[in-house]
Chains A and B, each alone.
Chain A
Amino acid sequence: MLGPIIETFIGGLLTGILYSLVALGFVLIFKASGVFNFAQGAMVLFAALSLARLSEVMPLYIALPLTIAIMVALAYAIEFLVLRPLINQEGIILFMATLGVANFLDGFGQTVWGSDIYKIDLGMPKNPIFIFESVFPGGLLIDPSELIAAVICAVLVVVLAIFFQVTRVGRALRAVADDHQAAQSVGIPLNQIWLMVWAVAGIVALVAGMMWGAKLGVQFSLALVALKALPVLILGGFTSIPGAIIGGLIIGAGEKLAEVILGPVLIRAFDLAGGGIENWFAYVLALMFLLVRPQGLFGEKIIERV
């Protein structure tokens, strides 16, 4: 019994890392501009679509930099057309604007690249690895592509954390997040900062899209993965990069374990059909967190002087 549970747990953690990658894009933009970027999911889809279609006609090592260029150009377009005219507006107005961007990108991606299911082949090993065969009968099954995703994610997080905490630009990003106008008054150029952060978020979206795409195939439902990032953010805190990672891990592992452990209990106790727990568990967890600790596990405390 213990073997499968540990296996589920590890599988959940590795899926969770992928949630974290999506959540990371949200956190970056939220930290720097105070905007909840609803378009992050659409950016993941757009990046994955671009990469999938480009890699059909050229080798991956050319398609990848080209997709990065596309994401940077996209960031530039969003900054110029959407954010710049709305500078210093209420958060909710910017949020609505990103909602528009999300819908546009969903459609536009299909207009440009088509709406079938496409493949991304990263050439990662597909064969599952078995570990601890001596401890558990049959060993534990691990998907190596998820393991690689986890490593990439970890590297990305460390780099970003250092960038935000230590560098001059990172500090400026945090300052902008706190107070646009004050940041402007001390000479921090808002437009450049936003351009930078949307470009970075675009690249993070590309990494997430690449990993998810390789796992599930590139299709419209990829944009919906972003919805899973919401409970991750509520759990980890909207402003914390480590929070996005830990939140992703908790949600990923939690929902898989709930399916395996809670499912049979519900079936037995209430004579329910069971199943589907994976779909709602994350949201219930997020709701409970909202009640108890609204800033999330690692979010910035809401500063209020009395």
Chain B
Amino acid sequence: MTAHSTEQQREAAATPPPATVAMDRAQAAPAPAAASILALNNIEVVYNRVVLVLKGVSLSVPKGQIVALLGANGAGKSTTLKAISNLLHAERGEVTKGSILFDGNEVHNLSPNELVRRGCIQVMEGRHCFGHLTIEENLLTGAYTRADGKAAIKRDMELVFSYFPKLAERKNALAGYTSGGEQQMCAVGRALMSRPKMILLDEPSMGLAPQIVEEIFEIVKDLNDKEGVSFLLAEQNTNMALRFARYGYILENGRVVMDGDAKSLSENEDVKEFYLGISGGRRKSFREGKNYRRRKRWLA
């Protein structure tokens, strides 16, 4: 009981959130749509016609930026990305409400292949390379929707190899036999081959060693800087994601509970508590953290 009351005191004493952080999405207007390449407006997703997974998510990705979508397991990050790329249908999911604008056009009824054609491609969680195809063939499948000829595709292949020199070394290896890091690079490279304006990157850090994760994030940043590709990045690795993204949204239980630019998010006391496991400058024990989070969620 005493632990409980100190918790409350600390919460009361916590500094008020910075101005950019909007705690209540229902009242906050979505970011200006003019410069955004992707804008979700209050979308709802239902699986199997009964399970409501996203309960009104709004977010926007400005052109040429990296935006992070953060949250715990089951918060709805992957579902959000699949709702955008229209891969939900295969999992018996459906967008029942709201609108999704890509490059100013409503895309919510387009097939995944039409969306790729228009420049929005997803890199799925868990990499999903084609195991029985070589790395090179994997990359070529990414260019399936393109009609600008072999020479252009060849040029882009060289470009991908320049960003991922490891892939060039292993280009004749079957993707199924390459390492997890190489597969993740292959998946990102394959997406690049479609000449995207935007990549929906789902959990690139999954199951990879910290060094490799670092390497992949650096390349993502590079691609963003030099090729102007926008990224919507779903991550559980909050720390890493906020280092590379410019803006972040935090999902919990199918709702955006907080958003703000990356710097203010990573300095926010709540984010520190919930997702980085630090408060008052010290790392908390796991037990404390959980306790706090449970109460806080009930309040939200």
Contact = CB atoms under 8 A, between A and B. Distances in A.
B160 interface: no
A30 B47 CA distance: 29
A100 interface: no
Contacts of B138: 175
Contact of B177 (A177, A181, A182, A305): A305
List 9 A-B pairs, minimum CB-CB distance, nearest first. A187-B116, A182-B128, A303-B176, A88-B90, A187-B145, A178-B130, A187-B113, A189-B113, A175-B141
A182 B129 contact: yes
Given A171-B141, A180-B90, A303-B176, A186 B133 contact: no
B140 interface: yes
A187 B194 contact: yes
B206 to A, nearest CB: 15
B71 to A, nearest CB: 21
B144 A168 contact: yes
Given A175-B130, A179-B130, A189-B113, A184 B140 contact: no
Interface in B86-135: 87, 89-91, 111-113, 115-117, 121-124, 128-133
B137 interface: yes
A188 B133 CA distance: 15
A56 interface: no
A105 B177 CA distance: 41
Interface of B: 85, 87, 89-91, 111-113, 115-117, 121-124, 128-133, 137-138, 140-142, 144-145, 174, 176-177, 190-191, 194
B144 A185 contact: no
A180 B87 CA distance: 11
A112 to B, nearest CB: 34
B134 to A, nearest CB: 10
Query: Which among A175, A179, A187, A303 has the greatest number of chain B C-beta atoms within 10 A?
Result: A187
A175 B91 contact: no
B112 A184 contact: yes
A185 B128 contact: yes
Query: Which among B116, B128, B130 has the greatest number of chain A C-beta atoms within 10 A?
Result: B130
A74 interface: no
Contact of B90 (A184, A187, A300): A184
A126 B97 CA distance: 68
A87 interface: yes
A229 to B, nearest CB: 22
Given A171-B133, A174-B132, A186 B90 contact: no
A182 B175 CA distance: 13
Interface string A166-198: 001001101101111111111111000000000
Query: Which among A174, A175, A177 has the greatest number of chain B C-beta atoms within 10 A?
Result: A175
A185 B122 contact: yes
Contacts of B124: 181-182, 185
Contacts of B115: 187
